[in-house]
Structures are given as C-alpha cells and as structure tokens.
Structure 1
Amino acid sequence: MSLTGKVAIVTGSGRGLGLAYAQELARQGASVVVNDVDQAAADAAVASITEAGGKAAAVVAPVGPAETAKALVAAAVESFGRLDVLVSNAGVLRDTVLWKMSDEDFDTVVGVHLRGTFTCVREVATYLREQGEGGRIICIGSPTGQRGNFGQTNYAAAKAGIVGMVRTWALELKKANITANAVIPVAATAMTETVPFFKQFVDAAARGEQMPPFARRVLGFGTPDDVAGVVAFLASDAAAGITGQAVGVGGDRLALWSHPQEVVTAFQDGGWSYEDLTEGFDSLFGQALQTVGQPVPQPPSDKAGPAAAQQAQPRSEQKAEQR
C-alpha cells in the first residue's frame, strides 16, 4: 500500500504542517510538487525531499487565483507525468475581533483558505476525471472551523466552508473514484504559536523537547510529524473507501468528527408561532443547547503526576486507549 508511482501536490508546503505532509508523502514513495510564496522556503523543501532520496519540484506562487491552480497541475504532469493526490493546505491568519476586522483581513484569509482550496480542487478534480484512474483530495480544516474561536471570524468561516465543500465533493466525485476528506490538525506551528495557551508547548517543540502527556493526550496537541501519517494514509489505496470525512489528529489523539445533525426535534400541528416559542423553547431545547469554542482542559499540577493526566482525559479517550 505504498505511494510509489503516485504524484501529489501539497500547497503551502515550504514549512510547518505542509512541509511535514510533503516529506511524509515522499517518504512513502510519492513524487511531490511543493508550493510556497517564498522561493527560499520552496527550494529548501525540495532539497529536504531529494536529499532523502525522494522526488520533488516546486511552484512558487500564492494560492487563490485559478492561474496558480493551473500551474500546480501543469508542474505535476510536466515533472512526473501524472497526478494522483492534492493536499490543500496553504493558509494565512489575520486574527482580530469582529468589530476591528477589516474587509482586507476577511478577504485575505478567505481568499487563500477557501477560494484557494476551491480553485485547486476544481483544477485537480478536472484533471483526475480526465485521467480516469481515481484520486485523492485532502483538505486541511481546523477545530476553529468546527467549533469557532474568539478573534477568528475570517478563519472560522473559511475552515468551516472547506469541510462543507469536502462533503459536497465526496458526493460529486464518487463515480470517478476520487475521494475527498478533511484533516483537522492540532500541532505546533507558526500559526498556533500565536495562541497564548499553546505557546509553551510550541516553544518546547522548537527546543526539541518532548511535549508532556497533558499536551499530547488531553489537548491532542503535537508536532507536524504527528499529523503527516494521517495525510499519507488518506492519500493511499488503503483509504479508497473513506470519503466525505473530517479526521482529527494531534499528538497521541486520533478522532473522527461528526457531521452537523439535529440533536433534538419537536413537532406541532400548524407550525410554531412567536408565542409558542417564547413559552416553550426553553423546555424543549434548553438542556440541549450546544456549546461554542474549543474546550480547554486545565493542566494538572506538577504534584498530581501521570494519574491526574489520565483522569483528565475524556472517558471515550480512556476507553479507546484500553482497546
């Protein structure tokens, strides 16, 4: 089930998570088209792959415009003769609260993440359908897109939209044997370094230190390499039957996100009036209102030891560990 003979495009792969994805795909045998806006970063990424015995080429261009998507597909075909996999990863941040977010802040993030994913997937899907041998589309989401996050209106909108598109593409591309999945990573990168809660773990990883069990298990927070294996798996023939899914990964944790669905339903002949809702909404739905934001457990004290970290894990995680 190796990726030998496969050709993959990884956008935003000059550093961070994207670089880890590109390197792992190459390690598993794929030829990789690296993409970044920084020539030096792209060249270094290609060198890291070729020096390890892999094959890689670079396209230096910003993701978003259709011209970049066309250039990426052309580079894959011209350099390696075919195309099998797209990992749509490129992204930027422009974090600020709603009332301070400018049109430019919003458009920049949505343009790279959401439009960039759309244009790249459209171009790759068109090629894969014509090639007629199936393929893999892997789009990178975020917990922010699943649950929201303070100060990230633009990012939340883009990442939620990506997962919505993935579900649609899974339906549209099924007959062509092209799978479409989302990966929801939580890892130490330049992006998560800006989150105060994660900074201590990002700094530890940068120093080459092992992250504590609280980070890797309770928070599900690890390194880019912890995520790369999932991306390579979804790119492989072993994942041919998996499509339309959002797979979460970080540190020691692997998870499958649910699709949005109704949690409580109620019926009333003639429908629901304003008066009906003011009188009855709380009794119907009050106990089922959904939380927003990503839950952040508190770390155990140093004196508590490993047992406290184990107790802090969700019960489902403890059961999965026992199996």
Structure 2
Amino acid sequence: MSLNGKVAIVTGSGQGLGFAYTRELARQGAAVVINDVNADTAAQAVAQIEADGGRATAVVVPVGTTDAAKALVAGAVDTFGRLDILVTNAGILRDKSLLKMTDEDFDLVINVHLRGTFTCVREAYAYFKEHNVRGRIITIGSPTGQRGNFGQTNYAAAKAGIVGMVRTWALEMKRAGVTVNSVIPVAATAMTKTVPYFQKAVEADERGEAMPAFFRHDLGFGTADDVSGLVAYLASDEAASITGQAIGAGGDRLQVWTHPEAATTEYREGGWSYEALQENAGTLFTAETLQSYGEEFLPLPEDLKPAQAAEAR
C-alpha cells in the first residue's frame, strides 16, 4: 500500500466524491480525517472506512474559517500523530443567473470553495513547514472553473480562483518539497444528477450497471471511483515531480489542462490606439483568434436521451 503510514484530511468527505477520495486513500494505507457538517453522515463514513479495515476519525465543522482549518489539522495530529496529505473537496452550490444571484448566494459559495481552500491549505502548509513534511495538497477544481457555465457565476469564480492559487502555491512550496495540484472531476454526483443530459448515465450508475460507453469514453464522464485513483496517486511519494497542474479525470479519460497562453500576438509601433484597433479589428479579432467559452457537449445518441426528451418526440 503506497500510502502506508500517511495521514490525510479530506474536506467535505462524508459522502459523494469526497467519500470516494477518502475511501481510496484509506485503501492505499492512509489514516483519514473525514470532514462533514452533519455528525451522523461523518460517523457513518468513519464506520464504513473502519469496516473496510482502514483507520478514520471525523471532524464535524463547516469549512471556510481559519478556526475550522485549525480544527481539521489538530484532528489529524491529535488522533494519528501527523499530517501528510490535504484534499480540499468541500463545496456547495447556489446556482442562479446573474440578475437573480444574491450577495448571500455569491458569498456562501466563495466562502466554502475558495476561502475554505485557502484557509485549509495555509494551515496544512504551516504544519508541513514546521515539521519538515514533504506534503501533498490536492485541491478540487471543476470544468466550470476552466470553461464557465450558465448560472454559475459564484461557482465558476471560486473554481477558477482555486486553480490560480494552485499555480502560485506550486511556486511558493517548491523549495519545501510540497506539491500542490488541482483535480478536475467529471463524475455522477448529486450535483450532476439534476442535469437531464447525464440522466441515463446517472441512472445506470444508481442501478449498479456500467455507464454507456458514450459517457465514459466520448465525454469522459464516470463514477466517483474513476476520479479517486488520481487523487490517491497525486498524494503518493511517486508523484513528487507533479506540481502546479490542473488534471481532469472522468470515466475512461484523463486530461492535463493547459494553462492560459496567448492565442495570438500582434505588435504595432507606438501601441494600439482606438483608431489603430478600428483599422485592424478585422484581422485581429477573427473566428480563428477569438476563444470559445462554456462547456460544449456532444449531441446525445437517440437511445441515451432523457425520458422527457423522448416523450416530447
């Protein structure tokens, strides 16, 4: 077991993707700290890990504040004597289009995803530095943070911000031997269950059946377990050379996302005045140079369209 003797915290891990990550880390030998806001959910997750032969404890606290981050690190150290791995998975959704999104909707999502990642990483890194631990930090991003998605201003901002912080932290933590990466999961969860496009895939997963190949291969959409292997690998000593990356996982697909680069570069002596831009706009801003935005999904095969779509036909 490659993580034997290691101790990991996974925020938001009482169920769903977070629990899948925790279970795989435990399967690879790590003792795990489960975090949830619901004590019963956390206790059930701990019981399942222990029933599988692993070691687990729970810290019931809402992620976001510095006090919560301190409680998580203390929970790992007090129970298992050390900390080696942090996975920042905790998150919530408050999806609304821009004019309907309230300040509270925005602040709640930013606080849990973005501020919660910041406070937990800061606390874990402080422990790593103080105890000379070549730790592993895995943050959780989203395709929405990479591409944007309708109705998710708050979530897109948080997830894009997380990847931005990862690139900065990779620079700051390099000398300490600590790696930090972002995993971009594409999987059947409570969040994707409500999206009609994925209905047939989620239904198959709930029945314990294999998802249709279209979802797993063509879309890179799979189960939570399809993502957990990458999380555990990035937490291992074998991944010491991988840092500052955004890596997608879902179904049969693995992707290393590019960092933003200039799509085109043009120079003009004296700079680009309003008049110069007017004169050259036709060649500067074309279909080839302007970038796409938003998630782009392949058309669903007829037999995989959601039931309501089939009824409408």
TM over 0.5: yes
| 1:299 aligns to 2:278 (yes or no) | no
Does the Cα contact within 8 Å between 1:114 and 1:162 map onto a contact in 2? yes
Distance in structure 1 (CA, Å) of the matches to 2:62 and 2:194: 22
Distance in structure 2 (CA, Å) of the matches to 1:257 and 1:113: 20
- The amino acid that maps onto 2:300 is P
Give, in angstroms, the shift of residue 169 of structure 1: 0.3
Structure 1 stretches of 4+ moved >6 Å: none
Q: Could you list the per-position Cα deviations for residues 117-148 of structure 1 after superposition, in whole angstroms to 9, with x for gaps in the alignment?
A: 00000000000111102100000000000000
Give, in angstroms, the shift of residue 302 of structure 1: 4.7
- The amino acid that maps onto 1:297 is L
Give, in angstroms, the shift of residue 71 of structure 1: 0.3
SS in 1 for 2:24: helix
5+ residue gaps, structure 1, are 304-323
Distance in structure 1 (CA, Å) of the matches to 2:64 and 2:220: 30
| 1:28 aligns to 2:33 (yes or no) | no
Query: RMSD over aligned Cα, in angstroms?
Result: 1.1
SS in 2 for 1:192: coil
Give, in angstroms, the shift of residue 200 of structure 1: 2.8
Distance in structure 1 (CA, Å) of the matches to 2:111 and 2:199: 27
Give, in angstroms, the shift of residue 115 of structure 1: 0.3
User: Which residue of 1 is the match for residue 50 of structure 2?
Assistant: 50
Distance in structure 2 (CA, Å) of the matches to 1:285 and 1:213: 38
User: Which residue of 1 is the match for residue 75 of structure 2?
Assistant: 75
Does the Cα contact within 8 Å between 1:146 and 1:160 map onto a contact in 2? yes
Give, in angstroms, the shift of residue 301 of structure 1: 4.0
Give, in angstroms, the shift of residue 202 of structure 1: 1.6
Give, in angstroms, the shift of residue 208 of structure 1: 1.3
Distance in structure 2 (CA, Å) of the matches to 1:155 and 1:282: 34
Greater Cα offset, 280-289 or 80-89: 280-289
SS in 2 for 1:194: coil
User: Which residue of 2 is the match for residue 14 of structure 1?
Assistant: 14
User: Which residue of 1 is the match for residue 284 of structure 2?
Assistant: 284
User: Which residue of 1 is the match for residue 195 of structure 2?
Assistant: 195
SS in 2 for 1:173: helix
User: Which residue of 1 is the match for residue 106 of structure 2?
Assistant: 106
Distance in structure 2 (CA, Å) of the matches to 1:98 and 1:149: 12
Q: How does 1:53-202 map to 2 (within 5 A)?
A: 53-202=53-202
Q: Could you list the per-position Cα deviations for residues 162-218 of structure 1 after superposition, in whole angstroms to 9, with x for gaps in the alignment?
A: 000000000000010000000000000011112221233222211212100110011
Does the Cα contact within 8 Å between 1:13 and 1:34 map onto a contact in 2? yes
Q: Could you list the per-position Cα deviations for residues 223-281 of structure 1 after superposition, in whole angstroms to 9, with x for gaps in the alignment?
A: 00000000000000010000000000000000100001101000000000111112212
SS in 1 for 2:255: strand
5+ residue gaps, structure 2, are 305-313
User: Which residue of 2 is the match for residue 274 of structure 1?
Assistant: 274
- The amino acid that maps onto 1:152 is Q
Does the Cα contact within 8 Å between 1:34 and 1:45 map onto a contact in 2? yes
User: Which residue of 1 is the match for residue 240 of structure 2?
Assistant: 240
Does the Cα contact within 8 Å between 1:264 and 1:285 map onto a contact in 2? no
Distance in structure 2 (CA, Å) of the matches to 1:4 and 1:70: 24
- The amino acid that maps onto 1:265 is T
- Cα 1:97–1:302 change in 2 (3 A) is closer
What's the TM-score once normalised by structure 1's chain length?
0.92
Greater Cα offset, 187-196 or 255-264: 187-196
Does the Cα contact within 8 Å between 1:17 and 1:189 map onto a contact in 2? yes
Distance in structure 1 (CA, Å) of the matches to 2:52 and 2:223: 20
Distance in structure 1 (CA, Å) of the matches to 2:93 and 2:200: 20
Give, in angstroms, the shift of residue 101 of structure 1: 0.2
SS in 1 for 2:86: strand
- The amino acid that maps onto 2:293 is V
What's the TM-score once normalised by structure 2's chain length?
0.95
User: Which residue of 2 is the match for residue 312 of structure 1?
Assistant: none
User: Which residue of 1 is the match for residue 258 of structure 2?
Assistant: 258
SS in 1 for 2:285: helix
SS in 2 for 1:290: coil
Count how many residue pairs are aligned between Structure 1 and Structure 2: 303
